[in-house]
Amino acid sequence: MRSPPWPALSRWRRWRRGWLWLLLVALFALVRWSKGAGFADAYAVLTRPFWPGSAQREWIQSGVQLEQQSKLRWLEKDNQRLRDLLDLVQSSSGVDELSAAVISRTPQGWWQQLELGKGRLHGIQPGDAVLGPGGLLGRIQSVTPITSRVRLLTSPGSQVGVWIPRTQRHGLLIGMGSRRPQMHFLDKDPQVFAGDVVSISPSSSLLPANVPVGVIQSVDYHALPAPRAAVQLIAAPEAIDWVQVQIRS
Protein backbone atom coordinates (compact mmCIF):
# COMPACT_ATOMS: atom_id res chain seq x y z
CA MET A 1 0.00 0.00 0.00
CA ARG A 2 1.40 3.44 -1.07
CA SER A 3 2.08 6.03 1.68
CA PRO A 4 0.31 9.37 1.44
CA PRO A 5 2.22 12.37 -0.02
CA TRP A 6 1.79 14.52 3.08
CA PRO A 7 5.46 14.45 4.25
CA ALA A 8 6.70 15.60 0.82
CA LEU A 9 4.12 18.38 0.69
CA SER A 10 5.09 19.49 4.17
CA ARG A 11 8.77 19.62 3.21
CA TRP A 12 7.90 21.68 0.12
CA ARG A 13 5.97 24.20 2.20
CA ARG A 14 8.82 24.50 4.71
CA TRP A 15 11.33 24.95 1.91
CA ARG A 16 9.19 27.61 0.20
CA ARG A 17 8.60 29.42 3.50
CA GLY A 18 12.37 29.43 4.18
CA TRP A 19 13.08 30.96 0.77
CA LEU A 20 10.45 33.59 1.35
CA TRP A 21 12.10 34.55 4.64
CA LEU A 22 15.52 34.63 3.00
CA LEU A 23 14.16 36.82 0.18
CA LEU A 24 12.53 39.14 2.68
CA VAL A 25 15.75 39.46 4.73
CA ALA A 26 17.74 40.11 1.54
CA LEU A 27 15.23 42.75 0.49
CA PHE A 28 15.51 44.53 3.86
CA ALA A 29 19.30 44.35 3.66
CA LEU A 30 19.21 45.87 0.17
CA VAL A 31 16.93 48.68 1.33
CA ARG A 32 19.20 49.41 4.28
CA TRP A 33 22.32 49.34 2.12
CA SER A 34 20.83 51.59 -0.57
CA LYS A 35 18.98 53.78 1.98
CA GLY A 36 15.77 53.37 0.04
CA ALA A 37 17.17 54.77 -3.20
CA GLY A 38 15.54 52.02 -5.24
CA PHE A 39 12.12 52.75 -3.80
CA ALA A 40 12.61 56.45 -4.42
CA ASP A 41 13.59 55.80 -8.03
CA ALA A 42 10.64 53.48 -8.53
CA TYR A 43 8.30 56.04 -7.01
CA ALA A 44 9.73 58.75 -9.25
CA VAL A 45 9.24 56.58 -12.35
CA LEU A 46 5.67 55.68 -11.42
CA THR A 47 4.65 59.24 -10.53
CA ARG A 48 6.52 61.03 -13.33
CA PRO A 49 3.47 61.19 -15.66
CA PHE A 50 1.57 63.03 -12.92
CA TRP A 51 4.31 65.52 -11.96
CA PRO A 52 4.52 68.46 -11.83
CA GLY A 53 0.90 69.16 -11.16
CA SER A 54 -0.69 72.56 -11.41
CA ALA A 55 0.29 73.53 -7.85
CA GLN A 56 3.92 72.49 -8.30
CA ARG A 57 4.08 74.25 -11.67
CA GLU A 58 2.85 77.48 -10.06
CA TRP A 59 5.44 77.16 -7.30
CA ILE A 60 8.20 76.71 -9.85
CA GLN A 61 7.03 79.67 -11.91
CA SER A 62 6.75 81.80 -8.78
CA GLY A 63 10.30 80.88 -7.76
CA VAL A 64 11.62 81.76 -11.21
CA GLN A 65 9.82 85.11 -11.14
CA LEU A 66 11.20 85.95 -7.70
CA GLU A 67 14.72 85.13 -8.88
CA GLN A 68 14.31 87.33 -11.96
CA GLN A 69 12.89 90.19 -9.88
CA SER A 70 15.80 89.93 -7.45
CA LYS A 71 18.31 90.07 -10.30
CA LEU A 72 16.47 93.03 -11.81
CA ARG A 73 16.58 94.94 -8.52
CA TRP A 74 20.33 94.39 -8.23
CA LEU A 75 20.85 95.49 -11.83
CA GLU A 76 18.81 98.63 -11.18
CA LYS A 77 20.89 99.42 -8.08
CA ASP A 78 24.15 98.94 -10.00
CA ASN A 79 22.80 101.05 -12.85
CA GLN A 80 21.81 103.85 -10.47
CA ARG A 81 25.20 103.71 -8.75
CA LEU A 82 26.99 104.04 -12.09
CA ARG A 83 24.68 106.92 -13.07
CA ASP A 84 25.50 108.69 -9.80
CA LEU A 85 29.21 108.25 -10.44
CA LEU A 86 28.79 109.59 -13.98
CA ASP A 87 26.84 112.60 -12.70
CA LEU A 88 29.57 113.20 -10.14
CA VAL A 89 32.24 113.23 -12.84
CA GLN A 90 30.19 115.44 -15.17
CA SER A 91 29.38 117.90 -12.39
CA SER A 92 33.10 118.43 -11.82
CA SER A 93 33.69 119.80 -15.34
CA GLY A 94 35.56 123.07 -15.04
CA VAL A 95 36.63 122.19 -11.47
CA ASP A 96 40.00 120.67 -10.58
CA GLU A 97 38.79 117.31 -9.30
CA LEU A 98 40.25 113.83 -9.44
CA SER A 99 38.52 110.46 -9.41
CA ALA A 100 40.00 107.85 -7.07
CA ALA A 101 39.08 104.30 -6.14
CA VAL A 102 38.59 103.13 -2.56
CA ILE A 103 41.20 100.40 -2.17
CA SER A 104 41.00 99.57 1.53
CA ARG A 105 39.09 99.99 4.77
CA THR A 106 39.36 98.25 8.12
CA PRO A 107 36.50 96.82 10.20
CA GLN A 108 37.81 98.70 13.24
CA GLY A 109 37.79 102.01 11.37
CA TRP A 110 34.73 101.42 9.17
CA TRP A 111 33.20 104.78 10.13
CA GLN A 112 36.52 106.60 10.46
CA GLN A 113 38.61 106.39 7.30
CA LEU A 114 39.04 105.21 3.73
CA GLU A 115 42.18 104.44 1.75
CA LEU A 116 42.31 105.78 -1.81
CA GLY A 117 44.41 104.50 -4.69
CA LYS A 118 45.87 107.91 -5.57
CA GLY A 119 48.15 110.23 -3.64
CA ARG A 120 50.73 112.99 -3.77
CA LEU A 121 51.95 112.12 -7.26
CA HIS A 122 48.41 112.76 -8.52
CA GLY A 123 48.18 116.18 -6.86
CA ILE A 124 46.23 115.19 -3.72
CA GLN A 125 47.09 117.11 -0.54
CA PRO A 126 46.00 116.87 3.11
CA GLY A 127 42.83 118.87 3.67
CA ASP A 128 41.35 118.29 0.20
CA ALA A 129 37.60 117.69 0.19
CA VAL A 130 36.40 114.20 -0.77
CA LEU A 131 32.96 113.79 -2.35
CA GLY A 132 30.84 110.74 -3.08
CA PRO A 133 27.69 110.46 -5.18
CA GLY A 134 25.35 113.05 -3.67
CA GLY A 135 27.52 114.88 -1.16
CA LEU A 136 30.60 115.36 0.97
CA LEU A 137 32.30 112.33 2.54
CA GLY A 138 35.22 113.86 4.40
CA ARG A 139 38.68 115.33 3.96
CA ILE A 140 42.12 113.99 3.08
CA GLN A 141 43.97 113.30 6.32
CA SER A 142 47.35 112.08 5.04
CA VAL A 143 49.01 111.18 1.75
CA THR A 144 51.78 109.00 0.39
CA PRO A 145 53.13 109.19 -3.15
CA ILE A 146 50.47 106.79 -4.47
CA THR A 147 47.80 106.53 -1.75
CA SER A 148 45.82 108.83 0.51
CA ARG A 149 43.73 108.44 3.65
CA VAL A 150 40.31 110.03 4.04
CA ARG A 151 38.97 111.08 7.42
CA LEU A 152 35.23 110.59 7.16
CA LEU A 153 32.57 112.93 8.52
CA THR A 154 31.47 110.03 10.72
CA SER A 155 34.92 109.75 12.35
CA PRO A 156 34.94 110.54 16.10
CA GLY A 157 36.07 114.11 16.65
CA SER A 158 35.48 115.21 13.06
CA GLN A 159 34.00 118.73 13.01
CA VAL A 160 32.72 120.55 9.95
CA GLY A 161 30.84 123.84 9.76
CA VAL A 162 27.40 123.30 8.21
CA TRP A 163 24.05 125.03 7.95
CA ILE A 164 20.40 124.44 7.08
CA PRO A 165 19.75 126.35 3.83
CA ARG A 166 15.99 126.52 4.48
CA THR A 167 16.31 128.30 7.82
CA GLN A 168 19.91 129.54 7.44
CA ARG A 169 20.77 128.18 10.88
CA HIS A 170 24.42 127.22 11.39
CA GLY A 171 26.03 124.50 13.44
CA LEU A 172 28.82 121.95 13.67
CA LEU A 173 28.60 118.47 12.18
CA ILE A 174 30.43 116.20 14.63
CA GLY A 175 31.36 112.59 13.93
CA MET A 176 30.25 110.03 16.51
CA GLY A 177 31.98 106.92 15.16
CA SER A 178 28.68 105.52 13.91
CA ARG A 179 26.55 105.66 10.77
CA ARG A 180 25.06 109.08 11.58
CA PRO A 181 26.97 112.15 12.76
CA GLN A 182 25.32 114.81 14.91
CA MET A 183 24.68 118.44 14.10
CA HIS A 184 25.15 120.72 17.10
CA PHE A 185 23.25 123.94 16.50
CA LEU A 186 24.54 127.34 17.56
CA ASP A 187 21.02 128.73 18.10
CA LYS A 188 18.73 127.55 20.88
CA ASP A 189 15.80 127.72 18.49
CA PRO A 190 17.08 126.40 15.14
CA GLN A 191 13.55 125.92 13.72
CA VAL A 192 14.50 122.75 11.84
CA PHE A 193 12.58 119.56 11.20
CA ALA A 194 13.26 116.04 10.03
CA GLY A 195 13.86 116.09 6.29
CA ASP A 196 15.75 119.39 6.16
CA VAL A 197 18.89 119.32 4.01
CA VAL A 198 22.28 119.96 5.62
CA SER A 199 25.01 121.62 3.53
CA ILE A 200 28.50 122.97 4.02
CA SER A 201 28.43 126.47 5.45
CA PRO A 202 28.70 129.21 2.79
CA SER A 203 31.34 130.88 4.95
CA SER A 204 33.63 127.82 4.90
CA SER A 205 37.14 128.51 3.59
CA LEU A 206 38.47 124.94 3.84
CA LEU A 207 35.61 123.08 2.14
CA PRO A 208 33.48 123.85 -0.93
CA ALA A 209 30.58 126.03 0.18
CA ASN A 210 26.98 124.82 -0.03
CA VAL A 211 27.91 121.23 -0.95
CA PRO A 212 25.15 118.88 0.29
CA VAL A 213 26.08 116.72 3.26
CA GLY A 214 22.99 114.97 4.57
CA VAL A 215 19.40 115.09 5.75
CA ILE A 216 18.08 115.72 9.27
CA GLN A 217 16.68 112.48 10.70
CA SER A 218 15.61 113.61 14.18
CA VAL A 219 16.05 116.62 16.46
CA ASP A 220 16.67 116.64 20.22
CA TYR A 221 15.37 120.00 21.40
CA HIS A 222 16.13 119.16 25.05
CA ALA A 223 19.89 118.89 24.55
CA LEU A 224 22.07 121.48 26.26
CA PRO A 225 23.36 124.07 25.64
CA ALA A 226 21.54 123.94 22.26
CA PRO A 227 19.50 121.40 20.28
CA ARG A 228 21.19 118.57 18.42
CA ALA A 229 20.13 116.56 15.39
CA ALA A 230 21.01 113.16 13.94
CA VAL A 231 22.05 113.49 10.29
CA GLN A 232 21.82 110.82 7.62
CA LEU A 233 24.64 111.38 5.13
CA ILE A 234 23.64 111.53 1.47
CA ALA A 235 26.89 109.85 0.37
CA ALA A 236 26.82 106.81 2.65
CA PRO A 237 30.45 105.79 3.46
CA GLU A 238 29.62 102.07 3.66
CA ALA A 239 28.45 102.02 0.02
CA ILE A 240 31.28 104.04 -1.55
CA ASP A 241 33.84 102.49 -3.89
CA TRP A 242 34.78 105.58 -5.97
CA VAL A 243 35.18 109.20 -4.87
CA GLN A 244 36.00 112.62 -6.25
CA VAL A 245 38.81 114.60 -4.63
CA GLN A 246 38.67 118.38 -4.99
CA ILE A 247 42.28 119.42 -5.43
CA ARG A 248 43.16 122.82 -4.07
CA SER A 249 45.44 124.97 -6.18
Alpha-carbon dihedral 89, 180, 164, 216, rounded to 10 degrees: 110
User: In terms of domains, do 207 and 102 share one?
Assistant: yes
Residue 10 belongs to domain spanning: 6-50
pLDDT tens-digit series, residues 5-16: 555 556 656 666
For residues 64 and 13, membership in a common domain is answered with no
Q: Determine, yes or no, domain membership for 102.
A: yes
In a domain, residue 108? The reply is: yes
- Asked whether residue 218 falls in the same domain as residue 196, the answer is yes
Between 248 and 198, residue with greater pLDDT: 198
Q: Does residue 200 share a domain with residue 149?
A: yes
- pLDDT for residue 93: 43
The model's pLDDT over 161-181, given as tens digits with 9 standing for 90+, comes to: 999 999 989 999 999 988 899
Structural domain contains residue 84: yes
HEC per residue, the chain: CCCCCHHHHHHHHHHHHHHHHHHHHHHHHHHHHHCCHHHHHHHHHHHHHHCCCHHHHHHHHHHHHHHHHHHHHHHHHHHHHHHHHHHHHHHCCCCCEEEEEEEECCCCCCCCEEEECCCHHHCCCCCCEEEECCEEEEEEEEECCCCEEEEECCCCCCEEEEEECCCCEEEEEECCCCCCCEEEECCCCCCCCCCCEEEECCCCCCCCCCCEEEEEEEEECCCCCCCEEEEEECCCHHHCCEEEEECCC
**Number of domains into which the chain is organized:** 3
Segment 44-64, tens digit of pLDDT = 666 556 555 555 556 556 656
Q: Do 156 and 189 lie in a common domain?
A: yes
C-alpha 99/C-alpha 138 separation (Å) is: 15
Residue 68 lies in a domain: yes
Using omega within 30 degrees of 0 as the cis cutoff, is the peptide bond preceding 237 cis?
Answer: no
> Which pTM does this prediction carry?
0.60
Residues 153, 134 share a domain: yes
Mean pLDDT calculated for residue range 30-43: 59
Which pLDDT score, from 0 to 100, does residue 94 have? 45
Q: Which residue has the higher pLDDT, 2 or 167?
A: 167
Question: Residues 229, 139: one domain?
Answer: yes
- In percent, how much of the chain has pLDDT > 70? 62
Question: Which residues are CB-neighbours of 54 under 8 A, at least 6 positions away?
Answer: none
In a domain, 162, yes or no: yes
Please check whether residues 212 and 107 belong to one and the same domain: yes
136 lies in the same domain as 106: yes
* 208 neighbors 95 (Cβ within 8 angstroms): no
Contacts of 158 (CB under 8 A, 6+ apart): 138, 151, 152, 173, 174, 175, 181
- Clarify whether residues 66 and 117 are in a common domain: no
Pair (134, 232) in one structural domain? yes
Domain co-membership, 209 together with 233? yes
Look at residue 237 and tell me if it is in a domain.
yes
